[in-house]
Amino acid sequence: MRKVGIISFVGIVGTGLLLRYTIVPDEEKMLKSLSPETRAIYERNKVQRREQHDKIMEQIIESAKSDKPIWKKMSENKGVNIKNEKQADTAPTPQNTPIFTAPLPTAAAVSSETADALATQNPALLSMLQGRLGSLIGAPSGYIDSLPKAVRERVDGLRCLQQQHTDIDKKLHLEIFELEKKYSELYAPLYARRTEIVQGAAEPTDAEKEEGAKIAEAEKEDAEVESGITEVPEDGEDAEEATGIPEFWLTALRNHPQLAELITDRDEGAIKFLRDIRLVYLSDKPGFKLEFEFAENPYFSNSVLSKTYVYEQSDVAGDLEFGSAQGTEIDWKPENDLSVTVETKKQRHKTSNRTRVVKKTVPAETFFSFFATVEEPESDDDSELADETRDRIELDYELAEEFKEKIVPCAIDWFTGKALAYEGLDEEEYDDGFMDDYYDDEDDDDEDDDEDDDDVDDLSRSAKDAAEPPQCKNQ
């Protein structure tokens, strides 16, 4: 029995070794698969890569062990010259051919330019260096501990002063926030008046119209300002029936490059019912709420969609930073749910060859994803999904700041297009996929569902594709 076990073990090991040598290519086989030019470059640089690695690691270890300040120790080291200055021959050899685009000036911290070169030409070495250097970040160099006791006590005194400075900074930022709240009360009557005019509840006074006309005339003389408004004749049936300023907020949001990326053609129908966007400061904690008021519409039953942002105060600089956000659950009406699309497909069975019609609901790109609550991943979660979620949260905070600082205070300038000039914005500066992080999770789910289908042929296009595909465009 023991012999049988030994024979089985040997057989397994032998099979593994056989697969190892037959399936996994060794260096020689790998080189044979390369083109002659690539193989020659590899051979020339092989020795140089090893030498470069050894030199960098020697200086990193030497610097970590030194009692001198890191900057001082590094300034004493000579840069790693990956070219052999004694070699006069200009022909490419392992001694005179650099493996990076430029020599490393020091082995202290890998600079951004060198890191880019490493990532491009030797990603394995870059990864290893980042791991080694990561363990040194924040670690004491030993320099402070080597100072005389009297000097160390003076350093501690400066630390105390710096903490007092930070405490004052915290009070400063809190007072600035309270000042914002105070002035928001002064702005409130202007915003209320704006809402009345936009919704048609009131007309501007003669004085308001006269002063506004002067401003418009001055803007026309400014070549950099291009109004997004097209003048139409005053007489006519449409002029008589128009109430307030139709599609005011839709036009303003469409003129903002980042928001234009989010708004699809399907969203426009719902956003036309947007009556007002309000900024409300929180009374019990640092933070604010964005309120989107909608008229009764066929898309959802909510009259107000809101999103609340709470600040946290930094212990380092004392400034207020975004800490958390809470959105609104939208009560969609089934027939007009913009957050999903229904795809109808024909699925064929592999063995019986019979077909069946399958309807599948899939997430859809929509501006109203802004109102979703996105949970922050755990700090130690370094998965790809966690990184994508953090990117989405960061974009969400950026949009919140845009609404708070620009859209709400200067809505008329975004409606006319004037804001594009003084904000220095140009739609060409934004890539087509600028806001893709808002939709990455939805796209991934859709791809997973498609992989589960067997021999699927489209029976008809989805409700999303049946209409014109959503396009993000500026006015």
Tokens of 472: 């993000």
Amino acid at 450: D
Q: Which residue has the tokens 């880019």?
A: 116
Across the strands, what pairs with 362?
A: 341
Q: How confident is the model at residue 137 (pLDDT cuts 50, 70, 90)?
A: low
The helix/strand/coil state of 183 is helix
Across the strands, what pairs with 353?
A: none
pLDDT at 8: 60
Per-residue pLDDT, averaged over 269-280, amounts to 96
Q: Is the pLDDT of residue 241 over 80?
A: no
% pLDDT > 70, the chain? 61
Tokens of 100: 């990076």
CB proximity list for 90: less than 8 A, separation 6 or greater: 96
What gap in Å lies between CA 24 and CA 14, rounded to an integer? 15
Across the strands, what pairs with 308?
A: 289, 326
List the single range of 102-111, 112-121, 386-395 with lowest mean pLDDT. 102-111
Q: Is the pLDDT of residue 125 over 50?
A: yes
List the single range of 45-49, 140-144, 254-258, 470-474 with lowest mean pLDDT. 470-474
The helix/strand/coil state of 320 is strand
The helix/strand/coil state of 67 is coil
Per-residue pLDDT, averaged over 151-169, amounts to 94
Tell me the CB-side half-sphere exposure of residue 104, using CA atoms within 13 A: 27
List the single range of 39-48, 180-189, 422-431 with lowest mean pLDDT. 422-431
Q: How confident is the model at residue 133 (pLDDT cuts 50, 70, 90)?
A: low
Per-residue pLDDT, averaged over 158-180, amounts to 93
Q: Which residue has the higher pLDDT, 9 or 46?
A: 46
310 within 8 A of 331, measured Cβ to Cβ:
no
Q: How confident is the model at residue 307 (pLDDT cuts 50, 70, 90)?
A: very high
CB proximity list for 474: less than 8 A, separation 6 or greater: 254, 255, 257, 260, 427
Tokens of 237: 């049936």
What gap in Å lies between CA 442 and CA 107, rounded to an integer? 44
pLDDT at 403: 96
The helix/strand/coil state of 361 is strand
Nearest-5° Cα angle at 405, 166 to 268: 145
Q: Which residue has the higher pLDDT, 35 or 103?
A: 35
Q: How confident is the model at residue 353 (pLDDT cuts 50, 70, 90)?
A: confident
Sign of the four-CA dihedral 217, 220, 226, 232: positive
pLDDT at 360: 82
What gap in Å lies between CA 303 and CA 209, rounded to an integer? 31
Tokens of 15: 């099979």
Per-residue pLDDT, averaged over 268-279, amounts to 96
What gap in Å lies between CA 223 and CA 210, rounded to an integer? 22
User: What is the phi/psi pair of residue 40, to 5°?
Assistant: -65, -40
Q: Is the pLDDT of residue 250 over 80?
A: yes
Q: Which of 391, 386, 404 is nearest to 438 (CA)?
A: 391
pLDDT at 184: 94
214 within 8 A of 461, measured Cβ to Cβ:
no
pLDDT (tens digit per residue) in 173-232: 999 999 999 999 999 999 999 999 999 999 999 999 999 999 988 888 765 545 455 554
pLDDT at 71: 54
The helix/strand/coil state of 344 is strand
End-to-end CA distance of the chain: 82
Per-residue pLDDT, averaged over 294-320, amounts to 93
β-pair type (274-281, 287-294): antiparallel
CB proximity list for 85: less than 8 A, separation 6 or greater: none
Q: Which of 88, 86, 118, 85 is nearest to 101 (CA)?
A: 118
Q: How confident is the model at residue 12 (pLDDT cuts 50, 70, 90)?
A: low
280 within 8 A of 291, measured Cβ to Cβ:
yes
The helix/strand/coil state of 267 is helix
What gap in Å lies between CA 312 and CA 325, rounded to an integer? 11
Per-residue pLDDT, averaged over 95-106, amounts to 41
Per-residue pLDDT, averaged over 330-357, amounts to 85
pLDDT at 380: 86
Residues in the chain: 475
283 within 8 A of 240, measured Cβ to Cβ:
no
pLDDT at 5: 56
What gap in Å lies between CA 26 and CA 243, rounded to an integer? 77
Strands (E), 282-401: 287-294, 304-313, 320-326, 340-348, 355-363
